[in-house]
Chain A
Amino acid sequence: MGFGPYLLLATLEGLVTAAVLSLMALGLSLVFGVMRVVNVAHGEFFMLGAVLAWYFSSLVAGDPALGFLLALALSPLVVALIAWLSDRLVLSRLKYEPEATIVATIGLLYIIQQLALTYYGADSRPVEAPFTWRIQLPWFGYSGYKLAVIGASILLVGLTALLMMRSRIGLIMRATQYDSETAQAFGIPVRRVYSAVFALGAALAAIAAVLVVPIRQAHYLMGQEPLLLSFIVVIIGGLGSLRGTVVAAVLIGLSDGIISMFFSPTLAKMLATLLVALVLVFRPQGLFGTAAR
């Protein structure tokens, strides 16, 4: 196999990573943008989505597509409910004060992770893909499901953008993001918007997890790496900027796919993390964001 096809394969793999990352980072960015909350437990919502996907799909015997669809419908709902509860019970009581919420979400991270370990176990478990056909290219065959993941991600990102930019709910969210006090004065139930945004962000992570779980297995520690990558994406894209987040996700996903195919993955991660920390130091508004008001 020559260099060209090799690069094509790396690009396709990178696009799959980018697709999953976009959804997850979109959730993180939404929560940060509207609520100004850095949700360290976001990776655990992702993991929970995957673990629940395994659970729901194992309930259905027969056609794997049925189990997958059930997981796709229920897993984000359950995760959203858990996120909604943790917002009501913990975050809202902290009045979304940045330092306290970050400590609280760290606590949440440990609780969810440990409960997953206790009830799900330390094993990696697969979920069968809903369909298994492959696309035969001249050099190698490629999983049709992975291409479907890329398509689904584009669709979902588009829907989220439509929701934010064209719908009444989106308008309310953007108003809250722009100035929560004025929004409150205009009769917007800010606290309910916050809870809804937190749940929506978690649901996006869970959907990403359900999509990824037929490719990578469900494991109780699987939330850690995507969390770091989402942080990187959200920072490079500019904290709170949705368009920047998606652009950065594609950028990071592609480069992660290509770099880790040709170099050591640990080195790739080291350099990416260092680079991003420096971006945050020297350009706090991100590469695409505008300066904070």
Chain B
Amino acid sequence: MKVRLLPSPQSLLLHLAVIAALLAANWLLPEYHRGVVSRVLVLAVFAMGYNLTFGYGGLLSLGHAMFFAAGLYGAGLTIYHLDWSIWPAFGAGIGAGLLLGLVVGALALRTSGVAFMIVTLMFSQVFYLTTLYFTTYTRGEEGLILQQEVRSLEFAGATFDLSDPSTRYLAGLALFSLVLLFTLFIIRSGYGRALIAIRENDERMRMLGFNVFANRLVALAISGMICAAAGAAYAVLFGYVGSTLASTQYSILPLLWVLLGGAATTLGPLLGTLVMFYVIDIASSHTTAHLLVVGLVLIFLVLFFRRGILGTVRARWLPWLP
């Protein structure tokens, strides 16, 4: 039997429709909600990177904040201290994420299960403490603010001001669409199928002659790169580069978003991030205790709703959903 290594036409159509709807939203949404959604788009990229290792790879990491922060600081520090322009700074951010993914992966993937979670948590904590230690350059929790004049992007002969709400939304959407389609294609590819099979039964895959370690390492490297891209985009689009975004909480949030939206679904990260943002938005008009909501949702999800929104939709109604 020949295996299709490309996404099915209907799933490709669905993804393009989602992107088109998000594009239309730029002109349809009121100003406040457009601001929220542009943040959601960037953070959904972070969640998609997390989903690749957690959802498809079956690796529960508690340290992905370090990859996000690697991109954030890779871009932020080069812009702030070295006066780099956006494109090379963005590249530096992604490069930092890739490098960190490879190094952390090479070490942490020697462990599995609980030990893997703790090791990633600790590496991430070391990264967080490093950003605090070099506070002369990073200004710690207070962070660096990238001014409007350095946040202009040269593209196709024109200059775009990334602090403008509309440009910011469209730039976020461009990155989001790119990563979404990339994920869609990679999980249908031979590599993606091997990764999923390793999640299901790594012993069997090892017996079949697959290099489990290498496959997982590649997944972690790509995931680190995607998360770093989200971090770099966050730095240039929202202009804030601070240690808060490297803290443990930012390792837990992508886990929450992916669990809510549906692990191992391509659109789950977006849906989870979007829903969670609005849940917290609504909750904070009643109470300031938004972490309480995060905690309750986490427990609720693992107790009663393990598959998440799109996972449930796939199991009940749409088995073709990627």
Contact = CB atoms under 8 A, between A and B. Distances in A.
Contact of A94 (B108, B259, B295, B303): B303
Interface in A89-132: 90, 93-94, 98-100, 102-104, 106-111, 113-115, 117-118
B208 interface: no
Nearest to A32: B114
Contact of B295 (A107, A118, A274, A276): A107
A273 B126 contact: yes
B303 A90 contact: yes
Contact of A100 (B122, B129, B295, B302): B302
B118 to A, nearest CB: 6
Given A90-B303, A102-B117, A281 B110 contact: yes
A274 B103 CA distance: 13
B294 interface: yes
Contacts of B287: 118
A73 interface: no
Interface string A78-92: 000000000000100
B1 interface: no
B60 A99 contact: yes
B292 A110 contact: yes
B295 A114 contact: yes
A284 B112 CA distance: 10
A114 B292 contact: yes
Contact of B126 (A99, A100, A274): A274
Interface stretch (A138-146, A211-219, A252-260, A263-271): A263-271
B107 A281 contact: yes
B11 interface: no
Interface in B277-322: 287-289, 291-292, 294-299, 301-303, 306
Interface string B103-142: 0000110110111011100110110011011000000000
B255 interface: yes
Interface residues of A, number: 39
A228 interface: yes
A277 interface: yes
Given A103-B298, A235-B118, A281 B108 contact: yes
A28 B56 CA distance: 31
A189 to B, nearest CB: 23
Contacts of A118: 287-289, 292
A169 B119 CA distance: 33
Contacts of B303: 90, 93-94, 104
A36 B115 CA distance: 12
Contact of B292 (A104, A115, A269, A278): A115
Nearest to A36: B114
Contacts of A277: 107-108, 119, 122-123, 126
Contacts of B288: 118
Nearest to A231: B118
Contacts of A109: 295
B275 interface: no
B289 A108 contact: no
A277 B252 CA distance: 19
A100 B306 CA distance: 9
Nearest to A228: B125
Contacts of B126: 270, 273-274, 277
B107 A278 contact: yes
A231 B117 CA distance: 12
Interface in B237-257: 252, 255
B302 A94 contact: yes
A277 B289 CA distance: 33
A108 B295 contact: yes
B108 to A, nearest CB: 7
A104 B122 contact: no
Given A264-B133, A273-B126, A111 B295 contact: yes
Contacts of A100: 302, 306
B118 A38 contact: yes
Contact of B129 (A93, A269, A280): A269
Interface string B91-113: 00000000000000001101101
Given A107-B298, A264-B133, A270-B130, A38 B114 contact: yes
A3 interface: no
Contacts of A270: 126, 129-130, 133
Interface centre among A36, A110, A231, A282 (most CB of B within 10 A): A110
Contacts of A38: 114, 117-118
A267 B133 contact: yes
12 contacts: A36-B114, A38-B118, A100-B302, A100-B306, A104-B298, A107-B302, A109-B295, A114-B289, A118-B288, A118-B289, A274-B122, A280-B118
Given A107-B295, A114-B291, A114-B295, 5 more contacts: A36-B114, A90-B303, A94-B303, A102-B62, A102-B114
Q: Which 3 A-B pairs have the closest CB atoms?
A: A110-B295, A107-B298, A111-B295
